Structure 1
Amino acid sequence: MKVFVDATKCSGYGTCAEIAPDLFQLDDWGYAAVTGDGVPADPEAARRAAAQCPESAITIED
């Protein structure tokens, strides 16, 4: 599993960083970015973050 954020869709709500802080961080402008290699330690948290993203900016490849 690998997680990606589409920066063109992200509006900076920060929901993903609240749900999965080990996987997402907000950049200097407040937009989400995947930390590390994008492979989640907690796959369920990654799925919840993707499902809760208001802009559908998060994709997961299995």
Structure 2
Amino acid sequence: MYEQGKRQLDYNSLIQLAEYYKVSLDYLFQRTDVPFLYEAMEEDELEFMLQSLSLYRDIKYKFK
């Protein structure tokens, strides 16, 4: 029913959904394109993400 627009999630369900996916409520409401909620990420997850971004940028600029 949620997918069809016939029901809406209550506030607590929205919070649980955001916490489960580790994103902000702003991302769920499409108020931002940045899905990451950095405060909810563990240090190793954040480090992996930053290393992956650095690698992507190196490859991107190398082949420009």
TM-score clears 0.5: no
Q: Which structure is richer in relative contact order (CA contacts within 8 A, separation 6 or more)?
A: 1
Rg bigger for which structure?
2
